[in-house]
């Protein structure tokens, strides 16, 4: 028997790591991976709450979050490729203009 | 007891992977530690009984999405990142503030929800039940997400295609 609080704390730690990575990372791909980490932390809390309230809709919602994350990854990585093609860098400190 | 031990072991693996993602400077190391995080999260889902979600986590997240990441990292030949200097205000107030906030939130979570321990496999989410729900109660959201994925595919193709490719066709 594991208290639900443990699951929520684990999900909070993962989310906090994601936020920290989003703020301190300078490589645009690493920032993107931090976003995925945040999504994973939220998914864990969804599944934990679904188990607590005996509502399967929580697990369905995790499925939808994964679909959105997959779409986001595809579009985001295409944007990263386009940015790299025009600027030849992945450092976001050098990507600070919308237009070249 | 075994349940708690498995939870703690894979929870620790999960947190170690997440911290490693923060520490590593090369994106490929970050991507591989993210795979570790996602794999151990799948075990946590299994402990909660969400079999379908665990399988999808391994197949879609640790499989498809991370392969996409590794592919892009290798395509762009991403090297080690240079760190820029953080501000002192963030160090002075951000870290203590974050510690206080996380201790408060953790305390509230344990106080308010600690009396509801979850048994192993508390809510069985077999593919059969999930699929039934998905195609009865959630049919409209399911179709909407399929359109979303279609749009994402087209957007990715348009964004990633070479800008000179169209002109080359016109010249010919």
ipTM of the assembly?
A: 0.91
Interface test with A, best of B14, B91, B133, B136 (most A CBs within 10 A): B14
Minimal Cβ distance to B53: which of A16, A62, A74: A62
Q: Is the residue at B143 inside a domain?
A: yes
Q: Which residues does B92 contact at the CB level (< 8 Å), separation at least 6?
A: none
Q: Is the residue at B105 inside a domain?
A: no
Q: Do residues B37 and A38 lie in contact, with contact meaning Cβ atoms separated by under 8 Å?
A: no
What phi, psi does B122 have (nearest 5°)?
-60, -40
Q: Of the candidates B79, B96, B129, which is a domain's last residue?
A: B79
Q: Is the pLDDT of residue B98 over 70?
A: yes
Per-residue confidence (pLDDT) for residue B82, from 0 to 100: 74
Report the distance separating Cα A89 and Cα B78, nearest Å.
Answer: 9
Contact B18 A63 (CB under 8 A): no
Q: Of the candidates B79, B98, B116, which is a domain's last residue?
A: B79
Contact list in B for residue A57 (CB cut-off 8 A) is 133, 137-138
Tell me the shortest Cα–Cα distance from A10 to chain B, in angstroms.
Answer: 7
> In which domain, by residue range, is B162 found?
138-172
Q: Which range, of A1-10, B33-42, B107-116, averages the lowest pLDDT?
A: B107-116
Per-residue confidence (pLDDT) for residue B11, from 0 to 100: 94
CATH (domain of B38)? 1.20.120.1200
The number of folded domains in chain B is: 2
Minimal Cβ distance to A47: which of B34, B48, B117: B48
Q: Is the residue at B133 inside a domain?
A: no
Q: Is the pLDDT of residue B170 over 70?
A: no
Which architecture does CATH list for A4-94? Orthogonal Bundle (1.10)
Q: Do residues A48 and B117 lie in contact, with contact meaning Cβ atoms separated by under 8 Å?
A: no
Mean pLDDT of B32-53: 93
Give me chain B's average pLDDT, please: 86
Full pLDDT tens readout for chain A, 100 residues: 788 888 888 998 999 899 888 988 889 999 999 999 999 999 999 999 898 888 889 999 999 999 999 999 999 999 999 989 888 888 888 888 877 7
Q: Is the residue at B101 inside a domain?
A: no
Q: Of the candidates B48, B79, B110, which is a domain's last residue?
A: B79
Per-residue confidence (pLDDT) for residue B93, from 0 to 100: 80
Per-residue confidence (pLDDT) for residue B166, from 0 to 100: 57
Tell me the shortest Cα–Cα distance from B92 to chain A, in angstroms.
Answer: 15
Q: Is the pLDDT of residue B169 over 60?
A: no
Same domain, B75 and B2: yes
Q: What is the pLDDT of residues B60-78, one digit of tens each?
A: 999 899 999 999 999 988 7
pTM of the shown model: 0.88
Question: How many beta-carbon contacts under 8 Å exist across A and B?
Answer: 224
Q: Is the residue at B2 inside a domain?
A: yes
Q: Is the residue at B11 inside a domain?
A: yes
């Amino acid at each position: 028997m594991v208290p639900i609080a443990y699951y929520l704390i684990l999900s909070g730690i993962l989310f906090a790591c994601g936020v920290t990575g989003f703020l301190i990372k300078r490589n645009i791909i690493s920032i993107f991976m931090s976003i995925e980490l945040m999504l994973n932390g939220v998914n864990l809390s969804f599944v934990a709450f679904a188990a607590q309230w005996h509502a399967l809709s929580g697990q369905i919602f995790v499925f939808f979050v994964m679909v959105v994350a997959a779409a986001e990854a595809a579009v985001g990585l295409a944007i990263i490729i386009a940015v790299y093609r025009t600027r030849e860098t992945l450092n976001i400190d050098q990507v600070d203009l919308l237009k070249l | 007891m075994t349940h708690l031990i498995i939870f703690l072991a894979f929870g620790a693996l999960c947190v170690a992977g997440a911290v490693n993602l923060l520490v590593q400077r090369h994106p490929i190391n970050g991507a591989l530690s993210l795979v570790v995080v996602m794999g151990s999260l799948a075990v946590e889902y299994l402990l909660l009984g969400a079999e379908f979600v665990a399988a999808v986590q391994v197949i879609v997240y640790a499989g498809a999405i991370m392969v996409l990441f590794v592919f892009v990292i290798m395509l762009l030949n991403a090297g080690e990142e240079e760190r820029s200097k953080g501000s002192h205000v963030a160090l002075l107030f951000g870290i203590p503030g974050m510690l206080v906030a996380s201790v408060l939130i953790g305390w509230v979570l344990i106080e308010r929800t600690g009396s509801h321990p979850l048994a192993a496999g508390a809510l069985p989410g077999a593919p059969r039940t999930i699929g039934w729900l998905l195609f009865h109660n959630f049919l409209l959201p399911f179709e909407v997400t399929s359109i979303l994925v279609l749009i994402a595919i087209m957007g990715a193709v348009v964004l990633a295609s070479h800008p000179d490719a169209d002109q080359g066709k016109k010249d010919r």
